[in-house]
Structure 1
Amino acid sequence: MKRVAFLILILMVLIPITWLLTYKFEGTKPVVDIQLPSLYLKKSYDMSLNVMDTKTGLRKVMVSIMQQGKEKTLLEKQYSSSGFSEFFSGPKTKKDTFVIPVQSQKYGMTDGDAIIRIMVSDYSWRGWNKGNVFYVEKKVIIDSKPPKVIVLTKRHNIERGGSALVIYKLFEENIKSGVKVGDNFFPGHPGLFANKDIYAAFFALNHMQGPGIQISIVAEDMAGNTTKRGFYYYIRDKNFPIDVLNISDNFLKKVIPDFDVDLKNGFFQEAENPLLKKFLYINEEVRKNNVETILNIPQISENKKYWDGRFLRLKGSSKRAGFADHRIYKYKGKEIDRAVHLGIDLASTANATVKAANSGRVVFTQLVGIFGNSVIIDHGFGLCSLYSHLSQISVNKGDMVKKGDDIGFTGKTGLVVGDHLHFSMIVHNVFVNPVEWWDNSWIKNNITSKIDFVNNM
């Protein structure tokens, strides 16, 4: 009996000791999550640090930055142990979160390579009671200087709804740059010139932007340092015609019933005039979504100038509607809607052959709501042409076409009655006036002369 009692006593002592030793000598390092905004440090930025140790708890956190043997401590925190109470309540501090300001210039550091050191330890008895240690070094680059930009082209004349080109030079790599027109950004691209430091940016004013809009070149490096460079430009104002379009019952009966609006097809039956209600939905909501679809395509463009010379107009055609015509829609004499026509409608004979206005790559061949069967050709550097209402498409996405190649036939697909071609020019994400791109003199004065000037510098 005494022997059994002795064994029980031994077990009562050994089990807690074994558990204690196993617990206190645990070998799991603290969990550390480091979030640097970038590997490039500008004058100052904040880094986020989350630390956690759910076993023996946090002992110490230390963060520093070092450059050329000079070290600056950014954070040092020592945590107290729970002591004996830890066995009942667990470790005192299991996790912590920090937002650490890093101000390299304040520490007397210069632009160039630096190292951020992070050390986190716990209250394990491992390592002669030094604990498990998480240690990492993060290489960063201190960069406090904004990018340098030199504008190479001298004159930049543009009108409301028009296009322009500016050429500039950068002096370092990995710079995001382009032209800011109001709140819209037109990216600049290398590739137009042999010198990879020379960038070209096609930019545009939409039909609502005129004199008074602010235009500048912006450049941002990997550290977030930003340069805003103004340049000379002149904006010529322009007025656009107002057209009144009378919507007849014959048009509604002929066009609207077969126009597919997906899940909304049966939505208008309860209206007093279902066809008119559906037309208004198409002319507002569907139009808005279709325009967005079309304008998303040119934003991914190749850094190659495929086009050469003026753009072709549909042969033997007459203009039925102009760029930025402001349309007022009336039904039985009452105004019911308004819209802006962002292209030029050209009509000749039915099913006339449509040719590529200039050389490029076909990047879109789809049916798009009000636009009907449409083709988009990328001419490079964000410049694209759009051909809509086609009865038939003769090219495929990815095809390379030359100026004058057949791409389809005119038709009346989409929200139209008569056979015609809707032709648009697009710069990045803005519809622009095609008349400029049909004009040899305009192209020479505003585009190619600038390219030649920089090539000859």
Structure 2
Amino acid sequence: MQNPHTKSGFIKIAGLIALVVVILLGMFMLSSDSFEKESPTIHLKSTSWNLKGTFPIEVSDNAGIKSYQVSLIENGQKISLDAQKLTKQNEICAAKSANIAPLTQNITTQSPIKSFCIGIQKPQNLKNNIQSFLLEVSVTDTSKWNFFRGNTTTKQFHIQVDTKKPQIAIVANSYKITQGGSALIIFKAEDENLKNIKINNGNLDFTPQPFYKEGFYISLLAWSKLHEDFNAKIIAEDSAGNVSVAPINYFKQKKQYRDSTIPLTENFIDGKISSLVQEIGERNLEDFADKIAIFRYINEEVRENTFQRVLNASSFVDTESLVENFSIQAFAPLKNGAVMASFGDHRTFTYQGENVSESNHMGLDLASIKQAPVILNNAGIVTLNEFVGIDGNALVIYHGLGLSTLYAHLTSTNVQIGDSLEKDTIIANTGNTGLALGDHLHFSVLVQGYEVWNAEWMDSSWIKTNITNVIAQAKDIINKL
């Protein structure tokens, strides 16, 4: 007969071993990513839908998505809907997903994906003229938690059906726009679920600002000298995906800008260009294959970087504050300044008889005495004050309504970033920093970051006709509505 004390000791040892195993297993489960307890997340960008196209649903999980299901809840019953994973080509969620074939619901992927977008089409059994419906989304992750069943999140969403497009009505606008120039537009846009409004000119987008009274908007826009075509339109979109487009009928005036050919000399490349490369300090002269490569670096790469830096400093638009008025005077930044180079000049550079590079001069060069004072003709806020590539020491001043001015090649400045400046302030002194051969001021006017024809904004008559009078006319019309 077995000794009872031996049997009892064996049971205690076995129990102790089992307890240790359970503790170790518990510790493993708590620390292992395979047993993570965080449930999947489900996100809708909008809870309204026009029943057209695909309605997107973003799902994500730390471990990965194993399965998902989307159902229509009708009279307390679930009606399963065909939900497919959207590929990169047509997904409209913010989720980053792999470019693979669509997946139907409840299909387990071979390699779990942590975040992607699924979409549904209009349910076939949805009643006509329905104003809303209840949608249920259920997602399970690949975790082994919950007895290997994973974590599941189930959410219900009330989806509003909205098939009405935003209403757009133009109130007033400038009569014409010149290639390279600017124009103004004031309009009304209405929709209960208005999400986004923009103005597109066929190449570039411009953001309007709230104007005068609720529901009205104002914007300057530009026709770039670099673009031959111009077809302006207002585009309004609501959160349900309805889009309205309204054309803006400007009289379009083409303009011929000057073309010039500039031969490059050894002295110019060895002198000003090479010195600028060293001053910028991003590359060594020894890094370039030849002198043409040095010039192209400055005229193309550094020029583009300069454009982007100025664009970033001058493209801010306040879409929250209401614009009640916009008063601007003609710019005259340099007293008795002689024009050295005009806006829009197209330059072709040659070396030893061959065309080697091109550029467009997107400002006005003015010169008077050395280190002449630069005058700010309109109040504004300093948004850039630094050495910027080919512009050298440069200032950007924001005047409101998306309008900024650039002052380049300066010797010194008298202001700081963020300063609110009154008109007639002396802001700097002219110089020859950057890509400048002599002391002068490079002056540019920018609409939401894009250079426009300076002559318009230096002409009080043009400003009155195309800006001031249009705003006054719009206010009269709005007051009568």
Of residues 239, 255, 265, the one that matches 1:222 is 239
Change in CA separation of 1:93 and 1:419 when aligned onto 2, cut-off 3 Å:
closer
Q: CA deviation at 1:117?
A: 2.6
SS of alignment partner, residue 358 of structure 1: coil
1-10 or 317-326: which moved more? Answer: 1-10
Q: Please give the alpha-carbon distance, in whole angstroms, between the structure 2 residues aligned to 1:51 and 1:397.
A: 43
Q: Of the two, which has the highest radius of gyration?
A: 1
Of residues 251, 262, 274, the one that matches 2:268 is 251
Q: Decide whether the 8 Å contact of 1:48 with 1:99 is kept in 2.
A: yes
Change in CA separation of 1:133 and 1:423 when aligned onto 2, cut-off 3 Å:
closer
Superposed, 1:95-244 pairs within 5 Å as 99-103=118-122, 107-108=126-127, 114-119=133-138, 134-153=153-172, 156-172=175-191, 174-190=194-210, 192-193=211-212, 195-210=213-228, 212-244=229-261
Q: Please give the alpha-carbon distance, in whole angstroms, between the structure 2 residues aligned to 1:176 and 1:230.
A: 17
Matched length: 422
SS of alignment partner, residue 274 of structure 2: coil
Q: Please give the alpha-carbon distance, in whole angstroms, between the structure 1 residues aligned to 2:107 and 2:173.
A: 64
Q: Decide whether the 8 Å contact of 1:321 with 1:344 is kept in 2.
A: yes
1:250-271 deviation line (CA, Å, top 9, x unaligned) = 3334313321343422334653
403-412 or 98-107: which moved more? Answer: 98-107
1:140-180 deviation line (CA, Å, top 9, x unaligned) = 44333221111111554101101011111011364311211
Structure 1 residue runs without a partner (length 5+): 78-91
Which AA in structure 1 matches 2:199? V
Q: CA deviation at 1:425?
A: 0.7
SS of alignment partner, residue 34 of structure 1: strand
Q: CA deviation at 1:390?
A: 0.5
1:219-270 deviation line (CA, Å, top 9, x unaligned) = 1122332111113121101100112323333333431332134342233465
Superposed, 1:326-337 pairs within 5 Å as 326-337=346-357
Which AA in structure 1 matches 2:79? T
Q: Please give the alpha-carbon distance, in whole angstroms, between the structure 1 residues aligned to 2:133 and 2:298.
A: 58
1:64 aligns with 2:64: no
Change in CA separation of 1:6 and 1:252 when aligned onto 2, cut-off 3 Å:
closer
Change in CA separation of 1:438 and 1:139 when aligned onto 2, cut-off 3 Å:
same
Counterpart for residue 468 of structure 2: 448
Counterpart for residue 297 of structure 1: 313
Of residues 46, 56, 62, the one that matches 2:56 is 46
Q: Please give the alpha-carbon distance, in whole angstroms, between the structure 2 residues aligned to 1:7 and 1:40.
A: 69
1:355 aligns with 2:375: yes
Counterpart for residue 73 of structure 1: 79
Q: CA deviation at 1:120?
A: 6.6
Which AA in structure 2 matches 1:440? S
SS of alignment partner, residue 293 of structure 1: helix
Counterpart for residue 393 of structure 2: 373
Q: Decide whether the 8 Å contact of 2:343 with 2:361 is kept in 1.
A: yes
Q: Please give the alpha-carbon distance, in whole angstroms, between the structure 2 residues aligned to 1:254 and 1:263.
A: 18
Which AA in structure 1 matches 2:71? S
1:322-342 deviation line (CA, Å, top 9, x unaligned) = 111011223355433211100
TM-score (norm 2): 0.75
Which AA in structure 2 matches 1:322? S
Q: Decide whether the 8 Å contact of 2:329 with 2:377 is kept in 1.
A: no
Q: Please give the alpha-carbon distance, in whole angstroms, between the structure 2 residues aligned to 1:115 and 1:204.
A: 45
Which AA in structure 2 matches 1:203? L
Q: Please give the alpha-carbon distance, in whole angstroms, between the structure 2 residues aligned to 1:168 and 1:236.
A: 23
Q: Decide whether the 8 Å contact of 1:312 with 1:358 is kept in 2.
A: no
TM-score (norm 1): 0.79
Counterpart for residue 267 of structure 1: 286
1:277 aligns with 2:293: yes
SS of alignment partner, residue 314 of structure 1: coil
